[in-house]
Structure 1
Amino acid sequence: MSTWRDIILADFREPVPPLSLVADPDHLLLDEILLSSLKDIQVEFIQYGDPVAFRYLFESRYRKVLEERTLRLLVQVNDVPLEQMPYDLLQMGRKLTYRMQTIFPKLSPQVVKQLDARDLDDLYAVYGQYQGSASHGETCDFILRRVFKVAYDMIDDETELVKYLLSKHYRQKQYPEVIESYLIEQLQRKKELNKLPLAELVKSPSFFYSYLQNQWIEYLQTLQEQPMASKEVGLQDGIYGKGKTHPFADEDVYRLLDNLFIEGYLKPVEGINSEHLPQWTHVGLVTDPSLDHKNRLAGLMANLKEKLQAIGNYRDWMNVVPLYGEIKDLILYTNLDQDENILGEVKAIEAGLDAQFELWMIRNYGNLQNLPYLPRPVMLHQVPHYIASKRHAKAAMVVLDGMSYVQWVQIRKYLQTKSFTFEEQSVFAWAPSITSISRQALFYGEMPVYFPHTLGTTRKEEAAWKLFWENHDVFKAYTGYEKSLGRKEGAYQSPDSLQKPSLKVLGLVIDTIDNLVHTALQGQHGLYSELKLWLEKGYLTGLLADLINKGFEVYLTSDHGNKESRGIGRIPEGVLAETRGERVRIYKDKMLRDKAAAAYSSMAWPGPGLPEDVHILLAKSGEAFIQEGENVVSHGGISLEEVVVPFIHITSNNNLKRF
């Protein structure tokens, strides 16, 4: 079956010239499948951005091989017209242009260009059936109905709205802003809906789940007041008025609730007597805590297994990692791994997951660095670009160095008790997952290949951070950076950088978790306990509240995660390795790296996005280059826990109303 990608790939049939300069204003080339297809036919892809950085990369890596015709290179050009590219490149290469309007001429280009690649696939499949005009409204209507399968004219009461939103938010389906706004406008015309906070409910998963949690508590309380009428089915005439079925009494709704409670989107309610309530409500009640935990763990593992069978692209891993984090957090919280049967099943799932993720990383990780950062970032170095695109009056990026998704689940549960809400995403850290590479990429806003001279240190982070924002029209005097936060004992004290009211952008590094990781003698159980004590001291909640009260939009992320591993023995190489980590070793000489890879249980990592003279040796999943038999919590590898990290927009929920 043909796709829109075939139109582009037709220009790369043999013979392919060495250099192709491609104007791509709609970012059509930034598609995981297309980039993989180009890679399969030995066409390398780079982007033309900063002229100085591009020239360095081109001269050091590509000019010679292009002149020798031993490589084929595609350069994507967005920010300047092709005619303004450097003269020597124009002389060497052919010029191509791809536009969305060429592929979908009957639709509004302003709407279509906001769709991601998966949506373009679905649109291309039904585009031949379109009979409307190129107007904004008709294009939005067609895409909503035929691409996103939303029959919005059928959403005419609260029950239908809740069913639709449950489906949208649980499946983490994001619409382009222009289409989302069109949908909200159409729903606001419905008499039964126009008193609800539709914009917030449609746009924000966290708002919707908070709203649903409040409604769930009210529903249970109402059921308790009418036990005889509610024992079998649930309350039919609900708080919305006589003759109207409460959304939770709708069979389609309460079937969808199970996974929300299992996966932690909704919290079971304490203090409700389940004796006179329908059986289906019990998943949302605290009845027998010990049995509830076991049942929830079984549900989480079943859901994880199901998701792992359907892995296709990076988004699927982004959907898996929160579920995996919930499983690990539940085990650490309840000590369920003391049961040998449960421990064995969890270890088997973890081993299978790590093997599957490692294989996926080897095949696909190199394509991620070229994907767009909108509508959401994919890799860590894109996070500053994403924040800059929001044009906040004041923005703060708080980096919890070393935080994996497992620790984020623990932190999130604590922050929820302190009136914070979140919009959760995840991003891929840089591999190898060590601070000097991945955190630097975050503060540079660049791939590591562009900062080869500081790859082993973080001393240039502040200068890189301020330069990034200066290039985005924020003067250095208005940009702050501070690291090594969260170490002091006692109550929270505002960082020095927050004492400057003129600051518009802040980058803050809290290295508490990374320090706890490297001193975790009792493994992840010990780390869990130490993190709990640190959270209770109030530094993080104090900092977040301080930032929000001073008008900052607050984003929380991590430079890498961590993994508990067992030692396989040290590699006795002395000074031959430039970096000797517990799960990674870095060499300047490829032959030395390959020799070590052949001699020890390890893997040679190809190093996409790294300088050419950096050669990586990684420990295998669950293993570390330390004394044989010792346990350690560390990082540097390419396991899911180390690579896919949280990226969170944090807000206060003081303004959340009960509707």
Structure 2
Amino acid sequence: MNWQEYISIKLNLHENANKIILDKTGLIKSDAFISHLKSNNKNFYISRSILEILKILNRNENAIIITDLPLVSLPSSVQQKSELIVFNYSDLPFNLPSQFYERLTIDEIIKSLEYIVHKNIKIDILKKYTIKDILNEASKFSLNAHYSWHLEMLAELLNQEINYNSILQIGYSFGYLNYLAWLTHQKPKDELLEKVDSNVSQYILSDKLKNAFYEPLSTFKTVDKIRNYIKSQQKQKIALICFDGMGVAEWFLLKDYLKQGNFSFNERFVFSMIPSNTLISRSAIFYGNLETVYNLSYSNEEKELNEYFENYFVKFYRQEDHLDHKNLLGVDFVCIIYNIFDDIAHNTQLPPDNKNKNIYFINVRNYLEKSKILNSINTLVKNKYHIYICSDHGCVVARGNNQKIDKWLQDQYCKRACIVKNDELIQNLNHLDCDRIEIPFDNTRLVLLAKNRTMFDSDKKIGITHGGITVEEIVVPFIEVNA
């Protein structure tokens, strides 16, 4: 029996009757318990007003009504029409003292309950554990369970027909898996990595990814739609925080750091441009025009954002700038650029036989713990900004392929990709063993892509870089922050 079923039985939720649960713990309102109610087809509501509760009761639906309203606020007419249940910490499983649960967050309570149930730890043994012991073991158990679940989900996704929506799902699952592998000291099998890369590259190289650009704005799938989407939301005060080089795994590192701020997040994942380099992909966020960004030699992001949001007073900040109430006075649109992921990636030294980003993850975590990013976001929240977090591209561990593209052929160049003119000379250039793809909506130029997880460099070189078409590089987060 899981902990959700234990609570359901204790509260007689299988009974077909009106019940109002005054949740003093937050656990009944948690996603984990709500999912349990949904899977058991329970008719339930989460309500925060007396009027709403009365309307539900008058419909005679035999509903479960979950609320955090104080008992004294409920009129007798409400109490007469339903069974009233006050759910306290003392009602949680295993008869542990209320003080044990009161010190924990909802997430910690859920992890602890899942660990205790799964391990079938007896109450007399459990009482010998300290809170710290239980939390440590519960956290390990939860991470390993998530790792196993995402392995299964990824395998299932890879056996389905590939399209751009499934690639975004694969990118999310694979990125989270890499993050969990680092935390749990596990290593995804090489065969899994190869299958992910093979399935994704086949789809992209067949030129089908351009279909993602036609998505409506409400469900946009590419970074060039970010500014249009933000403008369509018509918020009075806006903050756009762009983290250069933040892929899915990196987002989970940042998210873990931000948990100190007690935020929640609306997450979606979108595609960078190809090649996945800063000049093109980050410019696409601020210019919103593909034809323009593929012809840039220099990006003026501040000018573009000011012109597009002409009715806002826009101010740009860099990661070294201090943010406080004074320098935000009169500013309608704050834009902050952080280069920490990209800078640390390019400067992380890897041993010759390295295949993962673990050393880089450690470097990023160490930086975040000493950074002022959380302070800046808290300042924006206090000053009533609606906050969006985005990225231009991710990164990947790549080895040199001992190939070189002559400078006179290059329009734009990065370690894993090069834009060249699509002419007869390039068509007959057979000495380069690389993949080729047309630039979206521009058949006059090609992107030459280093194959698999390689880069155009000496075969003795290994490093963390970007520009290619792995999901680690082209699937990036777009986040709305809820205070």
TM-score under structure 1 length normalisation: 0.55
Which one of 486, 501, 505 corresponds to residue 329 of structure 2? Answer: 501
Matched, 1:526 2:359: yes
Matched, 1:421 2:291: no
Matched, 1:511 2:339: yes
For 2:384 and 2:256, the matched residues in 1 are separated by: 24
**Deviation by residue 1:141-187 (Cα, 9 ceiling, x = unmatched):** xxxxxxxxxxxxx99778999799538999xxxxxxxxxxxxx9997
Matched residue, 1:225: 95
For 2:261 and 2:177, the matched residues in 1 are separated by: 23
User: In the alignment, residue 122 of structure 2 is paired with which amino acid?
Assistant: H
Deviation of residue 580 (structure 1)?
2.7
Q: Is the 8 A contact 1:400 1:556 kept in 2?
A: yes
Deviation of residue 385 (structure 1)?
1.4
For 1:197 and 1:481, the matched residues in 2 are separated by: 41
For 2:280 and 2:292, the matched residues in 1 are separated by: 11
Q: Is the 8 A contact 1:402 1:514 kept in 2?
A: yes
Matched residue, 1:449: 291
Matched residue, 2:436: 604
For 2:215 and 2:370, the matched residues in 1 are separated by: 40
For 2:292 and 2:242, the matched residues in 1 are separated by: 21
Aligned residues: 403
Instruction: Give the alignment of 1:145-164 within 5 angstroms.
Output: none
Matched, 1:388 2:220: no
| CA 558–289 in structure 1, closer or farther in 2 if over 3 Å, else same | closer
**Deviation by residue 1:213-238 (Cα, 9 ceiling, x = unmatched):** xx99959x7212089xxxxxxxxxxx
User: In the alignment, residue 171 of structure 2 is paired with which amino acid?
Assistant: V
Matched residue, 1:130: none
Task: Give the 3-state SS of the residue equivalent to 1:417 in structure 2.
Answer: helix
Matched residue, 1:464: 304
Matched, 1:315 2:140: no
Matched, 1:618 2:449: yes
**Deviation by residue 1:508-535 (Cα, 9 ceiling, x = unmatched):** 2111111111112126222111111111
Which one of 279, 291, 297 corresponds to residue 436 of structure 1? Answer: 279
Deviation of residue 391 (structure 1)?
1.1
Matched, 1:275 2:146: no
Choose between structure 1 and 2: higher strand proportion: 2
Matched residue, 2:35: 166
For 2:471 and 2:148, the matched residues in 1 are separated by: 21
User: In the alignment, residue 35 of structure 2 is paired with which amino acid?
Assistant: L
| CA 287–433 in structure 1, closer or farther in 2 if over 3 Å, else same | same
Q: Is the 8 A contact 1:397 1:554 kept in 2?
A: yes
User: In the alignment, residue 377 of structure 2 is paired with which amino acid?
Assistant: L
Task: Give the 3-state SS of the residue equivalent to 2:155 in structure 1.
Answer: helix
User: In the alignment, residue 607 of structure 1 is paired with which amino acid?
Assistant: I
Deviation of residue 618 (structure 1)?
0.7
User: In the alignment, residue 531 of structure 1 is paired with which amino acid?
Assistant: V
Q: Is the 8 A contact 1:594 1:604 kept in 2?
A: no
Q: Is the 8 A contact 2:115 2:142 kept in 1?
A: no
Instruction: Give the alignment of 1:238-249 within 5 angstroms.
Output: none
Q: Is the 8 A contact 1:593 1:616 kept in 2?
A: no
Matched residue, 1:372: 216
Matched residue, 2:412: 579
Deviates more, 1:542-551 or 1:554-563: 542-551
Task: Give the 3-state SS of the residue equivalent to 1:356 in structure 2.
Answer: helix
Q: Is the 8 A contact 1:384 1:442 kept in 2?
A: yes
Which one of 397, 406, 420 corresponds to residue 249 of structure 2? Answer: 406
Deviation of residue 288 (structure 1)?
7.5
User: In the alignment, residue 510 of structure 1 is paired with which amino acid?
Assistant: Y
For 2:88 and 2:177, the matched residues in 1 are separated by: 25
| CA 321–225 in structure 1, closer or farther in 2 if over 3 Å, else same | same
For 1:185 and 1:584, the matched residues in 2 are separated by: 62
Q: Is the 8 A contact 2:172 2:475 kept in 1?
A: no
Matched residue, 1:632: 463
User: In the alignment, residue 626 of structure 1 is paired with which amino acid?
Assistant: D
Deviation of residue 550 (structure 1)?
1.2
Instruction: Give the alignment of 1:84-123 within 5 angstroms.
Output: none
| 5+ residue gaps, structure 2 | 1-15, 22-27, 40-52, 70-85, 98-106, 124-133, 351-355
**Deviation by residue 1:573-617 (Cα, 9 ceiling, x = unmatched):** 133212231100111353344344x323311112114x4543210
Matched residue, 2:371: 538
User: In the alignment, residue 166 of structure 1 is paired with which amino acid?
Assistant: S
Matched residue, 1:557: 390
Deviates more, 1:160-169 or 1:460-469: 160-169
For 1:295 and 1:405, the matched residues in 2 are separated by: 19
Deviation of residue 313 (structure 1)?
3.4
| CA 223–606 in structure 1, closer or farther in 2 if over 3 Å, else same | same
User: In the alignment, residue 163 of structure 2 is paired with which amino acid?
Assistant: N
For 1:318 and 1:417, the matched residues in 2 are separated by: 28
| CA 587–291 in structure 1, closer or farther in 2 if over 3 Å, else same | same
Matched residue, 1:196: 67
Q: Is the 8 A contact 2:245 2:341 kept in 1?
A: yes
For 1:161 and 1:572, the matched residues in 2 are separated by: 55
| 5+ residue gaps, structure 1 | 1-153, 171-183, 199-214, 228-260, 278-283, 338-342, 653-659
Deviation of residue 560 (structure 1)?
0.7
| CA 395–615 in structure 1, closer or farther in 2 if over 3 Å, else same | same
Matched residue, 2:83: none
For 2:383 and 2:434, the matched residues in 1 are separated by: 48
| CA 289–385 in structure 1, closer or farther in 2 if over 3 Å, else same | closer
User: In the alignment, residue 628 of structure 1 is paired with which amino acid?
Assistant: D
| CA 269–557 in structure 1, closer or farther in 2 if over 3 Å, else same | farther
| CA 633–217 in structure 1, closer or farther in 2 if over 3 Å, else same | farther
Task: Give the 3-state SS of the residue equivalent to 2:241 in structure 1.
Answer: strand
